[in-house]
Amino acid sequence: MSPTNTKRILIVDDEESIQKVVSLSLKMEANWESVLASSGAEGIQQAEIHQPDAILLDVMMPVMDGIDTFSALENNPKTRAIPVIFLTAKTQASEKRLFQETGVAGVITKPFEPLALAATISQLLHWSLKDQKAGGRLV
């Protein structure tokens, strides 16, 4: 976890545009840093290296999907403690529940409200945004 109030979030998504808008949203809303990964395998690697405060993990990815990636992160002593939030286009309640049952910290569906994304993550992980250095207009 980052020593300062600024959070470092690992964004794992095979869509580069999503990586960009999520990263920008977090930056603008809460001045959070982002680490980007385009696949599950890269995500695990980046998590080991950067030890982010949280991981935003896309569910539907080729080769290794979000569920397998989460399982690998859970089984990795170096990444086990990092909270994971699924970022998914699947919106059905039953699917969301299925994802939650895997043990992830939360599920955020696409499309999300860009300037409320950091707030949503904070709520899911019981962080207080007020304690953090606001980078955007939202405090």
Partner 1 sequence: MFHRSTATSTASLSAEAGSAFWPAIADIHPVTFGSQARLATVLAYLKTSPSTGCILATRQKKVTGIATRQDLMMALAQHSNWASMRLSDIVTRPVITVAYSEINNISRLVERLEQHRIGYLPVVDETDRLMGVIDRNCLLHVLQDQRCGQESDQSLPTHPHRAHIFADITLKIRQSLQLKEILQTSVDEIQRLLKADRVLIYQVMPDGTGKTISEAVTPAYPSILEIPFPEEVFPQEYQALYAQGRVRAVADVHAPDAHVSQCLLEFIDQWCIKSKLIVPIVRPLDPPETAAKDTIPIRKHLWGLLIAHQCDHIRHWSDFEQDLMQQLAGQISLALSQSQLMSYLEARVRRRTAELTKANRTLKQEIQERKQVEEALRQSETQLRLITNNLPVLIAYVDRQQHYQFNNQVYEQWLGFLPDQMHGRPVRQLIGEVYYQKIRPYIEAALGGEQVSYESELTFADGRDRSVNVTYIPHIDHAESEAQVKGFFALTTDISDRKAIERMKDEFIAVVSHELRTPLTSIHTSLKLLATGLLGDLLTEGQEMLTVADENTDRLVRLVNNVLDLQRIESGEVTIDAQACSTAELIEQAAEAMQAMAHQHNIKIKTKAEALFIWADPDYIVQTLTNLLGNAIKFSAPEKTVVLSVSAFDRQSDSSPSDLSPSDLSPSDLSPAAALFRVQDEGQGIPADKLSSIFERFQQVDSSDARKKGGTGLGLTICRKIVEQHGGTIWAESQLGQGSSFYFTIPLASALVRSSVSSL
Per CB under 8 A, residues contacting partner 1 are 15, 17-18, 20-22, 24-25, 28, 60, 89-94, 97, 110-115, 136-137
Looking at beta carbons only, is 77 or 101 nearer to partner 1? 101
Separation between Cα atoms, residue 83 and residue 94, nearest integer Å: 22
Looking at beta carbons only, is 28 or 41 nearer to partner 1? 28
Question: In which residue are the tokens 């945004």 written?
Answer: 129
Q: How far is the CB of 137 from partner 1 (least distance, A)?
A: 7
Looking at beta carbons only, is 41 or 115 nearer to partner 1? 115
Three-state secondary structure of 61-128: CCCCCHHHHHHHHHHCCCCCCCCEEEEECCCCHHHHHHHHCCCCCEEEECCCCHHHHHHHHHHHCCCC
Q: How far is the CB of 108 from partner 1 (least distance, A)?
A: 11
Q: How far is the CB of 27 from partner 1 (least distance, A)?
A: 10
Q: How far is the CB of 101 from partner 1 (least distance, A)?
A: 11
Phi and psi dihedrals of 123, rounded to 5? -65, -45
